[in-house]
């Protein structure tokens, strides 16, 4: 995202490299929806889609490419008619409407609504597609860019628990830490244990970082993103069901936005950025 904002667009080759990732996002997302429909006992709109659902669940996620979050074009196109039929079924749509009850990627609907584009023979991901593609950060990645002729180096580290032990490998000479929190995840749990609330986990990590003496002279900037998803969620989900200390109207976007903006700075030893 920072790369695009500061004028370093993805070239043709870089954009094409995201295609297998996007195809994987779609297939994984549909498998989640098919599984959720069954577990939530939602009937098919068209019973003939049971066969399509079975085919979707039989997809080999253990293949070398799929296990790495990659699905090649030829494979995706074989499953495209199945995915299209399933997405049109009221049973899958009803499962999607209950997505807060299970783990589903936030961008799945965007890609499923654009299956025609994804199925084109010459499909090349757009910048919007790339921004919405889910590719978990593993390891440490560095990006160079300029803002008003001032060079910056951004180091991107994986947020999964298994990746955090590597964070301190790149913290020696940092001048700022950008801490990103999805404001819409107040009702979701971690993929790792399916128990810990994601917002609570982010809060605990933030507290650990801001109170570490290593960062006493480092500016820490908190970003609360995914406001568009939060705006949709507050209409149907009450944050009070997950955070009893919340005060305000749980269905008012502004009130819900203020909550993490208040509790995160409370973890800092001094003024927060």
Annotated binding site for Mg(2+): 137
Contact assessment for residue 160 and residue 49, using Cβ atoms and an 8 Å cutoff: no
Contact assessment for residue 157 and residue 140, using Cβ atoms and an 8 Å cutoff: yes
Q: CA 14, CA 31: separation in Å to the nearest integer?
A: 27
Q: CA 251, CA 269: separation in Å to the nearest integer?
A: 32
CA atoms within 13 Å, Cβ hemisphere of 27: 28
Nearest to 203 by CA among 237, 256, 253, 243: 243
Q: CA 186, CA 233: separation in Å to the nearest integer?
A: 10
**What backbone torsions phi and psi does residue 120 show, to the nearest 5 degrees?**
-70, 140
Q: CA 136, CA 141: separation in Å to the nearest integer?
A: 12
Cα dihedral value 180, 186, 188, 192, nearest 10: 50
Residues annotated in the binding site, as ranges?
Answer: 131-137, 156-160, 225-228
Q: CA 103, CA 7: separation in Å to the nearest integer?
A: 34
Sign of CA dihedral 38, 20, 10, 114: negative
Burial tier of 115 (Cβ tally within 10 Å: 0-12, 13-18, 19+): middle
Residues annotated in the binding site for GTP, as ranges?
Answer: 131-137, 156-160, 225-228
Please give the biggest Cα pair distance in the chain.
62
């Amino acid at each position: 995202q920072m790369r695009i904002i500061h004028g370093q667009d993805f070239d043709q080759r870089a954009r094409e490299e995201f295609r297998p990732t996007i195809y994987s996002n779609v297939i994984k997302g549909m498998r989640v929806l098919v599984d959720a429909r069954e577990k939530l006992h939602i009937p098919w709109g068209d019973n003939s889609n049971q066969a399509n659902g079975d085919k979707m669940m039989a997809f080999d996620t253990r293949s070398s490419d799929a296990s790495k979050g990659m699905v090649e074009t030829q494979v995706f196109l074989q499953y495209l008619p199945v995915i299209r039929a399933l997405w049109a079924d009221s049973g899958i749509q009803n499962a999607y409407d209950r997505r807060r009850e299970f783990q589903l990627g936030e961008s799945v609907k965007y890609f499923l609504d654009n299956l025609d584009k994804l199925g084109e023979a010459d499909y090349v991901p757009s910048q919007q597609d790339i921004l919405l593609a889910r590719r978990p950060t593993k390891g440490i990645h560095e990006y160079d860019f300029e803002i008003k002729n001032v060079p910056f180096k951004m180091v991107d580290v994986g947020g999964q628990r298994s990746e955090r032990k590597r964070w301190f490998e790149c913290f020696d000479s940092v001048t700022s830490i950008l801490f990103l929190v999805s404001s819409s995840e107040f009702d979701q749990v971690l993929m790792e244990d399916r128990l810990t609330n994601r917002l609570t986990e982010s809060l605990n990590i933030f507290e650990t970082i801001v109170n570490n003496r290593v960062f006493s002279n480092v500016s820490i900037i908190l970003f609360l993103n995914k406001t568009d998803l939060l705006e949709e969620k507050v209409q149907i989900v009450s944050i009070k069901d997950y955070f009893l200390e919340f005060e305000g109207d749980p269905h008012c976007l502004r009130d819900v936005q203020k909550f993490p903006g208040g509790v995160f700075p409370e973890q800092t030893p001094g003024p927060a950025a």
